[in-house]
Structure 1
């Protein structure tokens, strides 16, 4: 459970780093599954950054009885998220995504807010949306770790347009934020977790190192947060919580039965007209 100091830090900064959120044994099992389960490769999406380098991710909605489902449904995760979301209604799982930045070729993520994407899903309340990144490998400046602008969630939603195949924030506002607020490189060790607000401005560089940077990002919302342009249903279904020991001790199913996102079905990647004004 989050203590008062952690909750205050999240509200002030827009993010919270929790060291050792997953044990080494849990993290090793998660990474091994990510690399070896063929469903991840078959359902990966490639999105070009502005330089043409590819960022690769596999995204699914309903948390299942696989090892990643056990992580996203774990008591420690759900209760921590519930403490940080701005509502007392049940915690729901919007989606999870495996981020795969391979050595030398893994592309950048342009400056954006998650709500810059999810605004197109027509979620009503950004304070009731949160992302949790769990590092499966080390993340540092060398291999393109996450960068955040501390406190930028208080700007509200910034206009977004297309940056390559990605959705990127209005760089005039980003540059103003960088003059005003602190840029933080989120150096993570395997098993560390970064909780961050849906309006926090963040980005990551391409991975030009010799080492992979893999992570899982699970995104949650309060059940009270309505989405008027989202066809999946997990976002309004309370998480079926499991004990923390499920990650290591319960039998885990394959990821092949998960409801993975198809690139052509993502509303965030469809033009609405206003992107051209950014």
Structure 2
């Protein structure tokens, strides 16, 4: 009976988990995969996979789906321990007022704001180790087919009951203005809190990256968006996907992917760690507030749990002060306005 169960689990896992490889000797992992698959199969996306720390790799099928759909959703890229370590970094930064001093408050034109902090280089704290890990940076290199470097990192926060929305846009709609001639760039969105429809999870238009770059313009004095009629036309062709995610889930998506996220109308905070990567061959043609090519020192995945550094390195990471952003016009606090006069 055990042999039949193992064979059955292997068969289901192989068919349903889409080229995520599993160790045949680890029955517990197979059963976990089978359980997860059964729970999520009815809502499973076209390019959705379950991470397994020993055997996960970018297979030809995963690469094909990334090229076709413009994204790869990897469930449990970070386990619970790793998520808690990353959250500890930013909770410490909150208590030390680092986040407040560097946060950008982005209006959605409807009376609400989302908050984010942006930095240029990954530090040696846990969050930086995550961005430099093989399962993040290494996966991006495989998906892009060449060496990548850390273009910038972000912590995006939507506060409970008040968090604002991000309007439809392409990341490359911003980055094109930075001297990046090609859209050979991508972002990894890692949920630190549960992301739901109620608290403003990501929404994407599947396959919209194939539409190419759309012209973007500044609205509400802060966010840059493409022509709304064009977006509506794309919606008719490209399926709308709600990317509801658990802490540790990660969405890898192309820079031309159309995406948005709604307001947080729930009693729960929504934090997410985003890392943007550019390819070495796409080095910007001009200096900008995001870095030009800088070699990235990748680390093994095990380094995340080994790291005990929970302090953001302000000098190494080079936080982008809100007054210096050239692509958005965030609201500045009184303290930030005063600080901007001395920068």
Which runs of 5 or more residues in structure 1 are unaligned? Answer: 271-278
Shift of 1:235: 3.9
Q: Once the two structures are superposed, what CA deviation does each residue of 1:8-42 show, in whole Å capped at 9, x if it has no partner?
A: 11111111100010011000111122222132232
- Aligned equivalents of 1:137, 1:253: Cα separation in 2: 18
Are residue 263 (structure 1) and residue 322 (structure 2) matched?
A: yes
1:221 is matched with: 278
TM-score normalized by the length of structure 2: 0.75
More helix by share: 2
Mind listing any 5+ residue stretches in structure 2 that lack a counterpart?
A: 1-56, 330-343
Q: TM-score by structure 1 length?
A: 0.92
Aligned to 2:116: 57
**1:162 matches 2:221:** no
Task: Give the equivalent residue in structure 1 for 2:79.
Answer: 23
1:175 & 1:184 partners in 2: Cα distance?
15
Deviation at 1:170, TM superposition (A): 1.1
C-alpha displacement at 1:253, in angstroms?
A: 5.4
Question: What is residue 137 of structure 1 aligned with on the other side?
Answer: 193
| 1:233 to 1:175, Cα distance in 2 relative to 1, 3 A | closer
Q: Whole-Å Cα distance in 1 between the matches of residues 286 and 234 of structure 2?
A: 30
2:159 aligned residue: 102
| Secondary structure of the structure 2 residue equivalent to 1:173 | helix
1:184-263 equivalences in 2 (<5 Å): 184-231=241-288, 234-252=291-309, 254-257=311-314, 258-263=317-322
Q: Deviations over 1:185-237 (max 9, x none)?
A: 00110000000000000000000101111100100011110212333574401
Give how far 1:92 is off.
0.4
* 2:232 aligns with one of 143, 165, 175: 175
Paired residue for 1:67, among 119, 126, 143?
A: 126
Q: 2:70 aligns with which of 11, 14, 39?
A: 14
- Does residue 119 (structure 1) correspond to residue 176 (structure 2)? The answer is yes
Distance 1:67 1:25, change over 3 A: same
What is the CA distance between 1:249 and its match in structure 2? Answer: 1.2
Other structure's SS at 1:224 match: helix
Instruction: Verify the 8 A CA contact 1:92 1:234 in the aligned structure 2.
Output: no
Query: Larger relative contact order (C-alpha < 8 A, sep ≥ 6)?
Result: 1
Q: Is the 8 A contact 1:120 1:229 kept in 2?
A: no
Distance (whole Å) between structure 2 residues aligned to residue 42 and residue 104 of structure 1: 22
Alpha carbons 1:110, 1:163 under 8 Å: kept: no
| Rounded Cα–Cα distance in structure 2 between residues aligned with 1:120 and 1:48 | 21
Structure 1 vs Structure 2 CA RMSD:
1.5
